[in-house]
Copies of this chain bind each other. A is one copy, B any other.
Amino acid sequence: MAKQKKQPRPKAETPKGFRDYFGAEVTQRTEMLARIAEVYHAYGFDALESSAVETVEALGKFLPDVDRPNEGVFAWQEADDEGRGDWLALRYDLTAPLARVYAQHRNDLPTPYRRYAMGPVWRNEKPGPGRFRQFYQCDADTVGAPSVAADAEICAMLADTLERVGIPRGDYLIRVNNRKVLNGVLEAMGLSDEAQRDAVLRTIDKFDKVGEAGVRELLGKGRLDASGAYIDGVGLTEAQAEPVIAFLTSRGESAAETLANLRAAIGESAIGAEGVAELETIAGLLEAGGYGPDRIVIDPSVVRGLGYYTGPVFEAELTFEITDEKGRPRQFGSVAGGGRYDDLVKRFTGQAVPATGVSIGVDRLLAALREKGRISATPVGPVVVTVMDRDRMADYQAMVAELRAAGLRAEVYLGNPKNFGNQLKYADRRNSPAAVIAGSEEFERGVVQVKDLVLGAKIAENATLEEWKERPSQFEVPRGEMVARLRAMLDGAE
């Protein structure tokens, strides 16, 4: 083999659409997921961590005649002895792997199988602002439970979960709908043309965006959208469109009123009646469990993902207002969604297995907690013990060991100690609440200097601040009292 030319330096960059998470970004997520796991665990859900890599065959969704099956996923071909091995891919969600896991291990798993899963998923999509190709999902699903009591349980657990992580009651609302009711409505409309049915479904999915008036236009003649383009309508008469509108706007003052409106919308449809009965059961179970309409409501205007699900669907919204990038107030919006999808495992086994579950948008929920001030944006860094005399390293190490033993986060400066200013700049960059300074003179006298960096920063912000006068930003303490003084100081600061 010929010698290679000297390689140019590689670029130090994440691939497009990927990112790194630093410090509190990691630990805050870990803590939030731990709290969520506590709730799931208490409900009897078991953890599952499936392989991040699946066969493309198991993930499904790929066209067999495409040479490279990378539509939306990251996929590659294994090199076997003949160079033509299996196609593998990174999982794009946690639900498809659950189906594979349940089909593979069903003889060893309990039925029903309640499981939760948390971890990254990957999408081979065009990245955009705030839209990454690797992100976390956090799912809970019950496989093998045909009863909608399982759906009601998921909704109640979701409410408990949101409160557990720090979203107070009144700041969230879980809305429940049912795909079967929609099917009933379509049946009642007598739409025999499949293309027209699909067009109605696509229109319903736009309800969140265009509202009732927009849906009326789109079901009828068509509509001029915001960009000025004309969108063709489905071509229904107003009378024909009415059941769809009645369905979407059927939420009443109470669950009973909503259910009555839905019964009217579905006419004689058997599947529609089944859907309404399911919603009635769910509403009854939730009410009996104390999950009133201030937390969970039957709301047929929830349409997101209706096409994917086969029964009840649910969505959790945060109802408090935030200010958007243009300074306008708006509701925080959706942080979780889910529903019943009964055809999941059938692909593998040929046998229908009922399943229902929810997925929490981890990054959205974290952002909401930051918005609500439930998570501190700038966590406190470690106490930095500076190095005045590099022959005293063992003494400095002893100081941080004592501080740690007392429950404080602490570290010795390990860079080049020559320039003391750099050490304080380092402490600043670490968000240190305090620095400890001890040179040979201090060691001789058995004292250390403590620099209060939180106070120092406040004084720097407002040098004339009267209230800080009595609190010196640097003071001397006997070595033996260092830990106690720092503890007292930092307990006060936090």
- Which one of B14, B16, B103, B401 contacts A12 once the chains associate, using CB atoms below 8 Å? B103
Do B14 and A51 touch (CB < 8 A)? yes
Chain B residues contacting A7 (CB-CB under 8 Å) are 64
Query: Is the pair B75, A46 in contact by a Cβ cutoff of 8 Å?
Result: no
Q: Say whether A289 faces chain B, with CB atoms less than 8 Å apart.
A: yes
From A141-149, A193-201, A248-256, A334-342, the one touching the partner chain is A141-149
Q: Known contacts A20-B49, A397-B149; decide if A10 and B414 are in contact (CB<8 Å).
A: no
In the bound complex, do residue B14 and residue A414 qualify as a contact, i.e. CB atoms below 8 Å apart?
no
Inter-subunit contact B15/A88 (CB<8 Å): yes
List chain B residues, Cβ under 8 A from A42: 404, 408-410
Taking the complex as formed, is A212 at the interface, i.e. its CB lies under 8 A from any CB of chain B? Answer: no
**Are A11 and B44 interface neighbours, CB within 8 A?**
no
Instruction: Please provide the chain A residues from 62 to 82 with a CB less than 8 Å away from any CB of chain B in the complex.
Output: 63-65, 68, 70, 74-76, 78-79
CB distance from A286 to the nearest CB of B (A): 9
Minimum CB–CB distance from A407 to chain B (whole Å) comes to 8
Q: Which residues of B contact A429 (CB under 8 A)?
A: 110
Contact call B347/A394, Cβ cutoff below 8 A:
no
Nearest B residue to A10, CB-CB: B57
- CB under 8 Å from chain B, chain A span 128-150: 133-134, 142, 144-147, 149-150
Judge whether A240 is part of the interface by a CB distance below 8 angstroms: no
- In the complex, which residues of chain B have a beta carbon less than 8 angstroms from the beta carbon of A120? 52
A76 close to B75 (CB less than 8 A): yes
Please state if B411 and A51 are interface contacts (CB–CB under 8 Å).
no
How many subunits of this chain does the assembly comprise?
A: 2
Is A319 interfacial (CB-CB < 8 Å)? no
- Among A21-29, A363-371, A467-475, A485-493, the stretch that binds chain B is A21-29
Task: Scan A257-293; emit 1 where CB is below 8 A from any B CB, else 0.
Answer: 0000000000000000000000000001100111000
Most-contacted residue by chain B among A70, A349, A404 (CB, 10 A): A404
Which one of A4, A52, A414 has the greatest number of beta carbons of chain B within 10 Å?
A414
Is B74 in contact with A134, judged by CB distance below 8 angstroms? no
* In the bound complex, CA of A397 to CA of B411 (Å): 50
Q: A75-B76, A397-B288, A404-B42 are known contacts. Are A26 and B49 too (CB-CB below 8 A)?
A: yes
The 6 closest A-B pairs by CB, nearest first: A44-B411, A288-B394, A12-B103, A26-B47, A76-B76, A145-B414
Q: A44-B382, A114-B414 are in contact. List 7 more A-B contacts (CB 8 A).
A: A14-B54, A15-B86, A21-B48, A23-B48, A52-B134, A74-B76, A284-B394
